[in-house]
Amino acid sequence: MSIENGTRTAIVTGGSRGIGRAIVQRLAAQGYAIVVGYAGNADEAAAAVKEATAAGAEAFAYQADVADETAVAAMFAEAESRFGGVDAVVNSAGRMFLAPVAELDLDELDALHRTNIRGTFVVAREAARRLRPGGSITLFSTSVVGTYFPTYGAYAASKGAVEALTMVLAREMRGRDVNVNTVAPGPTATDLFLDGKSEELIAQLAQANPLERLGEPRDIAEVAAFLASPAGHWVNGQVVRANGGMV
């Protein structure tokens, strides 16, 4: 199966849960063949595949640590073997750890940066080597890079690196007909975001934007799916802050 017969293929890392899973569902509805990349939860990955196939897509799950270049290369190779090539890569895999800078556990910092920085570079590097013309690379940051909330220092720093990479990679893809963008969500109702937060804090964050609610995974999936689609191909080298108007 290949782009010549009208079918596009997407790899979505972090595709078993949260925003990544919503992106899998959205791209499946758009007719993509899907690779659900996941780190460890095989049951959730299988459920994401089941949802994609119920929408009419061909899909399979592949376990790969995004920071492991051998595993990521094997995931891309498997996608090419099954579907003929890769057209869209959405790297939504990520790790969050919150602490004041003065109290930060450096082991947690290393683990966070391994996934969010090294993992992004590994996936982006493989995508840059393999994507077919007309393809798309969509990375993930966070609106906290601009809101500067306390305790988010390590997480925001890791995502700042992703934003710095975005235009550089877009320019390096000159002549390849591949666009590169980053989505930077605001507070979004996922397990990753909600974990450890009080009801009071969640309510406060929901009121921080003019639309006065938390984002939903489907809100972010719509943005990512647009950027990955032919309709969004003219958008290139951009960081899109999908956050309801949060300053």
* pLDDT tens-digit series, residues 109-141: 999 999 999 999 999 999 999 999 999 999 999
Specify burial of residue 9 (Cβ count, 10 A radius: 0-12, 13-18, 19+).
buried
Specify burial of residue 36 (Cβ count, 10 A radius: 0-12, 13-18, 19+).
buried
**Hey, which residues are catalytic here?**
155
Residue 204 in any domain: the answer is no
Phi/psi at 197 (nearest 5 deg)?
A: -100, 140
pLDDT in tens, 183-221: 999 999 888 788 778 888 889 888 989 999 999 999 999
The pLDDT mean for the chain works out to 94
What integer pLDDT is reported at residue 190 of this predicted model?
87
Residue type (1 letter), 218? R
Phi/psi at 217 (nearest 5 deg)?
A: -50, -35
Buried b (16+ CB within 10 A) or exposed e, 192-212: ebeeeeeeeeeeebbebbeee
What integer pLDDT is reported at residue 6 of this predicted model?
64
Residue 198 in any domain: the answer is no
What CATH number is given to the structural domain containing 10?
3.40.50.720
Residue 107 in any domain: the answer is yes
Domain residue limits at 99: 3-187+220-240
Residue 11 in any domain: the answer is yes
Tally of domains in the chain: 1
Residue 233 in any domain: the answer is yes
Residue 64 in any domain: the answer is yes
Residue 94 in any domain: the answer is yes
Q: Residue 129: which of 192, 82, 172, 183 has the closest Cα?
A: 172
User: Are 217 and 174 spatial neighbours (Cβ–Cβ below 8 Å)?
Assistant: no
Ranges under pLDDT 50 in the chain:
1-5
